[in-house]
Amino acid sequence: MKILHINSYYAKSYFYKNLFEEQLQKSLEIKVYIPVSNEFLNNNFNYGEYAKLSYCYKDWERLIFPFKHNKILKDINKKFDCSNFDVYHAHSWFSNGYIAYKLNEKYKIPYIVAIRNTDINIFYKYMICLRNLGHKILNNASKVIFISPAYQKRVLNDLLPQNIAEIIYDKCMIIPNGVDRFWIDNQYSKNNLPLYSNIKILYVGNIDKNKNLLTTCKAIELLLKDGVKVEYTIVGRVQNSKIYQKILSKKYVTYLGEKNKLELLNIYRENNIFIMPSRTETFGLVYVEAISQGLPVIYSKGEGFDGWFSDGEVGYGIHCQDYIGLYEQIKNIMLHNIKITPNSIKQFSWEVINEKYMSIYNEILLGVYDENNSTQNFGK
């Protein structure tokens, strides 16, 4: 089985390599096309021999969707014999999905498309002129993959016109992003006893506006007024220096910089709660990392992680700007023991996730075979 992955996000989101390596182990023939701008700085990451990082447009061309993506379309046809695949796997709705849609028009090869945070919160929300194109991409896809239950609910119930939602409903599936095997192999169960006067809060990720760390600080300051001793540890890369300076001025904050997996393992285990009230989030693998180490989590309602667990199972969801609600849920976790079981993250294993994709590919190919066979029989 030959799969062409169209994945511009792999340029910076290295976790996709886990999926691609898993597919190689299952004897799939894969190629991965990664279109990037001429200004993209490659940090020498090993994308794999099956991957092609292709410099094919200029940064300013991002502003003109048809211009940029038609250049990408010409480029992918130069880099690959696109007629020589069984399925195209587009890893986003608009940017990657458009390429799969146009290739499907030309070669009649089926494709699946995934819906990401940027598709919902940028392309569909602000680029109104692209909505009809977005509908066509979904209509013609063999499967539509959502990263979370929350995103499926929002797209089908709130975003799409009812007639489009009805057309694609039966071909929608929810498949999460996977977590590195390291976290599955090193799961840790801790006894989260009630915490009455001391709590250690952790955040791991980029320091930027989207991750909403200042809302966490507001909730912490309410806890301090209650007489709770709070330690807030932050790990990750500084993307916004103004937010970084504001956070660093807080006496209860400890910034540790960027850490590797082994260092993170101990940091997770030393803390009591993981909090990331992102404004937007495709999924949020750090939530799964935290859960794997026995930490309850607080996440954003309506975003990528919401819907995978019921309230109180591994933590609680809040509205991203609701610092009072965040404060209340921190106290809730402090007073009630949340026991996280080892099976909680099994569904986020890349092995399990790849099995789902393999089933999809096989189902699509069986459908193509049946359709071709029926056509041949009809003509006899």
Tens digit of pLDDT for each residue in 239-260? 999 999 999 999 999 999 999 9
What pLDDT does residue 193 have? 62
Alpha helices in 6-53 (DSSP H): 16-25
Report residue 196's pLDDT band, with 50, 70 and 90 as the boundaries. low
Residue 132 has pLDDT above 70, yes or no: yes
Which is higher by pLDDT, 228 or 338? 228
Rounded to 10 degrees, what is the CA torsion of 76, 79, 85, 91?
-40
- Mean of per-residue pLDDT scores for the chain: 92
Report residue 374's pLDDT band, with 50, 70 and 90 as the boundaries. very low
d(CA 72, CA 356): 29
What pLDDT does residue 380 have? 30
Average pLDDT estimate for 167-174: 96
Average pLDDT estimate for 342-348: 84
DSSP letter at 176 equals P
Asked whether the beta carbons of 363 and 173 are under 8 A apart, the reply is no
What pLDDT does residue 141 have? 98
Average pLDDT estimate for 286-293: 94
Residue 22 has pLDDT above 90, yes or no: yes
Same fold for the pair 2-178+349-379 and 181-344: yes
From the list 324, 286, 323, 329, the residue with the least C-alpha distance to 304 is 286
- Residue ranges of domains in the chain: 2-178+349-379, 181-344
d(CA 376, CA 372): 6
Number of Cβ within a 10 Å radius of residue 161: 10
What pLDDT does residue 373 have? 42
d(CA 298, CA 318): 7
Measured N-to-C along each axis, helices 241-248 and 213-225 cross at an angle, to the nearest 10 degrees, of 10
Residue 191 has pLDDT above 90, yes or no: no
Tell me the CA distances in angstroms from 134 to 74, 138, 294, one per residue in order.
20, 6, 40
Residue 227 has pLDDT above 80, yes or no: yes
In CATH, what number does 2-178+349-379 get?
Answer: 3.40.50.2000
Residue 109 has pLDDT above 90, yes or no: yes
Q: 127 φ, ψ to 5°?
A: -95, 70
Average pLDDT estimate for 102-118: 96
Of 293-297, 362-366, 372-376, least confident by mean pLDDT is 372-376
What pLDDT does residue 341 have? 78
In CATH, what number does 181-344 get?
Answer: 3.40.50.2000
Rounded to 10 degrees, what is the CA torsion of 151, 157, 159, 160?
110
From the list 298, 345, 301, the residue with the least C-alpha distance to 199 is 298
Asked whether the beta carbons of 47 and 10 are under 8 A apart, the reply is yes
For residue 234, the SS3 value is strand
Report residue 194's pLDDT band, with 50, 70 and 90 as the boundaries. low
pLDDT tens per residue across span 297-343: 999 998 878 888 988 899 999 999 999 999 999 999 988 878 887 77
Number of Cβ within a 10 Å radius of residue 319: 13
Q: Which residues pair with 112 in a beta bridge?
A: 89, 143
Residue 203 has pLDDT above 50, yes or no: yes
